[in-house]
C-alpha cells in the first residue's frame, strides 16, 4: 500500500530526519485540557503547508452558542492566541487510557516497582473454568454453550425445537485462580523554585510536566500520594493548588527544599515500603556554591540510596538558565537514580518527560 510509504515519510519529517526546513510548520500543541475533569487534548502532529491565507485573528468568523456581545466566544476561548489549536481533537478520555497513550507515544517502559516480592499479596478469585467441580460452582452459560456445540456438531440440533439437554461431559465449573496483587505504594514529592526569576511561563511548564508525570505514575502504582514543596531561600510544604499559584520574590537556596523533602520522607514514608520519586524544578540560579555543594551531598547520601528516582528539571527563564544543572551533571552524569533534564520552552516538555520517565525506574 502506497499509504504506508507516505506515512513513513511523514514520520521521518516529524522526527526531523528529512526535510529539516519543515520543522517550523510542525504544530506542537499543549497536551492538557482541563485537569479536574481529566479532559485532555491528544496531540496529533501535523505539518501545515503555508498558503496565502488571512490571519485568523484578523478575520474572525461565525460561530454558534450562548453569549452576549462582548463576552468570550464559546468554543474559541482556548484557541485564543494559538492558531495551531485548530488541529486538535478534544475528547473525553479515561485516565488510564490517557496514561497508556502517553506510554505508547513516548515509548515509555513500564515501571518495575521495587520490593515487589515483599509487597505482593495474593488472593483467590473465581475467574477460571474447570470441567470438574462442586455443584454450587456450576457455570450455567459455559455448560449451555458446550452442550449446544455438541448438539450442533453431532447434527441433533433442531432450530424449530431448540431444546438443549446437557450431559455430564458438558458441565463446566467456576474454578479459583491465584491472582497476585501488587500492593505497591508510591509517593511523589514535587519541589519547585518560586523565587522571583520563575515567571508564569516557567510555572506553566512545571504544571504540565507534573501533570504528565503524575498520570504516568498513577497508571503504574495504584496508591500514589503526592506532596508539594515550594522554596525560595526557605522551603515549606503546601497544598497542590498553592504549589502552582505561589509566587515569591526572594532568592534561592535549593538545599532548603531538599532538607524539607528529607523531613517529609523520614516522617511519613518508610523507605522499605515506599517507592519514592522526587522531582525538583528550578531555573538553576542557586545563591551560593556552598549551598550547591550541600545539595550534591544531600542527593548523593540521602536521596540516591533510597529513592527510585531523583529528577531535576531546569526550566529556562527570561534571565537565562542557571549553573545548577551543570554542577549536578559533574557529579551524577552516570547515575541511574538521578535524571537531569533541561526544558527550554513548552515545546520541549515532551522530550523532557521522556528523559524523566524513559528509564523505567
Partner 1 sequence: MKNSLSKKLQDEQKRIEKIAKDLGLDFYETVFEMVDYKQMNQIAAQGGFPVRYPHWRFGMEYESLSKSYEYGLSKIYELVINNDPCYAYLLEGNSFLDQKLVMAHVYGHCDFFKNNQWFSQTNRKMMDQTANHATRIRRYIDRHGIDAVESFIDCCLSIDNLIDRYSPYSKVKVDMAERDKDYLVQSDIAQRKDYLNKFIDSGVNKKDENNKENETIRNPERPEKDILKFLIENAPLEDWQQDILSILRDEAYYFTPQGMTKIMNEGWASYWHAKMMTEHICSDSEIVCFADTHAGTMAMQPGGFNPYKIGIEIFRDIKRRWDRGQFGRDWESCEDIREKANWNTKALQGEDKIFEVRRNMNDVTFIDQFLTEDFCVENKFFVYKFNKKTNQFEIDTTDFKAIKSKMLFQLANFGQPIIQVVDSNFEGRGELLMTHLFEGIELQPDYMQECMTRIYNLWKKPINLATVLDEEGVIVRYDGSEFKNQKVNEMLSSEKKE
> Residues interacting with partner 1, by CB under 8 A?
1-11, 13, 18-19, 42, 44-47, 49-77, 79-81, 87, 89, 91, 93, 97, 101
Beta bridge partners of 317: 320
Cβ-based nearer residue to partner 1, 59 or 153: 59
Of 62 and 330, which has the nearer Cβ to partner 1?
62
Of 9 and 326, nearer to partner 1 (C-beta) is: 9
Residue 307 cell numbers, joined: 529513592
Name the residue nearer to partner 1 (CB basis): 97 or 266.
97
| Minimum CB distance to partner 1, residue 321 (Å) | 27
> Which C-beta is closer to partner 1: that of 50 or that of 159?
50
| Residue 277 near residue 309, CB atoms below 8 Å | yes
The answer to whether the Cα torsion of 219, 221, 223, 229 is positive or negative is negative
Q: Tell me the closest approach of the beta carbon of residue 358 to partner 1, in angstroms.
A: 21
CA distance 280 to 298: 13
User: Closest distance between partner 1 and the C-beta of residue 54, in Å?
Assistant: 5
Q: CB of residue 69 vs partner 1: minimum separation in angstroms? A: 6
Grid coordinates given for 191: 519541589
As measured in angstroms, the least distance from the Cβ of 319 to partner 1 is 24
> In a 10 Å sphere around its CB, with 0-12 CB exposed, 13-18 middle and 19+ buried, how is residue 251 labelled?
middle
Q: Is 339 helix (H, G, I), strand (E, B) or coil?
A: strand
Rounded least distance, CB 18 to partner 1, Å: 8
CA distance 50 to 40: 28
What cell does 332 get? 551524577
Q: What is the DSSP letter of 24?
A: G
**What is the closest distance, in whole angstroms, from the C-beta atom of residue 352 to partner 1 in the complex?**
23
Measured between alpha carbons, how far is 85 from 100 in angstroms, rounded to an integer?
23
Q: Which is nearer to partner 1, 5 or 107 (CB)?
A: 5
d(CA 192, CA 211): 14
Instruction: Identify the bridge partners of residue 233 per DSSP, sorted by sequence position.
Output: none
Q: Give whichever of 107 and 158 is closer to partner 1, judged by the CB atom.
A: 107
Q: Are 38 and 98 in contact (CB under 8 A)?
A: yes
Amino acid at each position: 500500500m502506497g499509504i504506508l510509504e507516505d506515512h513513513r515519510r511523514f514520520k521521518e519529517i516529524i522526527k526531523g530526519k528529512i526535510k529539516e526546513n519543515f520543522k517550523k510548520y510542525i504544530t506542537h500543541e499543549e497536551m492538557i485540557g482541563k485537569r479536574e475533569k481529566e479532559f485532555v487534548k491528544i496531540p496529533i502532529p501535523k505539518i501545515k503547508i503555508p498558503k496565502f491565507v488571512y490571519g485568523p485573528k484578523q478575520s474572525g468568523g461565525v460561530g454558534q452558542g450562548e453569549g452576549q456581545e462582548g463576552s468570550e466566544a464559546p468554543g474559541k476561548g482556548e484557541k485564543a492566541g494559538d492558531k495551531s489549536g485548530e488541529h486538535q481533537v478534544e475528547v473525553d478520555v479515561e485516565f488510564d487510557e490517557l496514561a497508556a497513550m502517553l506510554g505508547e507515544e513516548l515509548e515509555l517502559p513500564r515501571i518495575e516497582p521495587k520490593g515487589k516480592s515483599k509487597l505482593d499479596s495474593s488472593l483467590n478469585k473465581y475467574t477460571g473454568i474447570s470441567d470438574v467441580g462442586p455443584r454450587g460452582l456450576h457455570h450455567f452459560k459455559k455448560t449451555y454453550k458446550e452442550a449446544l456445540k455438541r448438539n450442533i456438531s453431532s447434527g441433533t440440533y433442531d432450530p424449530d425445537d431448540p431444546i438443549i439437554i446437557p450431559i455430564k461431559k458438558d458441565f463446566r465449573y467456576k474454578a479459583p485462580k491465584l491472582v497476585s496483587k501488587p500492593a505497591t505504594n508510591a509517593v511523589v514529592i514535587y519541589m519547585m523554585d518560586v523565587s522571583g526569576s520563575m515567571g508564569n511561563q516557567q510555572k506553566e511548564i512545571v504544571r504540565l510536566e507534573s501533570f504528565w508525570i503524575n498520570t504516568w505514575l498513577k497508571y503504574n502504582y495504584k496508591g500514589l500520594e503526592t506532596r508539594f514543596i515550594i522554596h525560595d531561600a526557605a522551603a515549606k510544604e503546601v497544598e497542590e493548588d498553592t504549589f502552582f499559584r505561589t509566587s515569591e520574590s526572594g532568592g534561592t537556596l535549593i538545599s532548603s527544599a531538599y532538607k524539607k523533602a528529607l523531613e517529609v520522607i523520614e516522617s511519613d514514608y518508610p523507605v522499605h515500603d515506599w517507592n519514592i520519586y522526587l522531582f525538583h524544578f528550578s531555573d538553576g540560579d542557586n545563591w551560593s556554591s556552598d549551598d550547591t555543594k550541600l545539595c550534591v551531598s544531600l542527593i548523593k547520601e540521602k536521596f540516591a540510596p533510597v529513592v527510585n528516582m531523583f529528577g531535576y528539571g531546569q526550566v529556562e527563564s527570561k534571565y537565562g538558565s542557571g549553573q545548577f544543572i551543570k554542577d549536578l551533571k559533574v557529579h551524577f552524569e552516570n547515575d541511574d537514580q538521578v535524571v537531569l533534564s533541561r526544558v527550554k520552552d513548552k515545546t520541549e516538555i515532551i522530550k523532557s518527560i521522556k528523559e524523566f520517565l524513559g528509564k523505567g525506574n
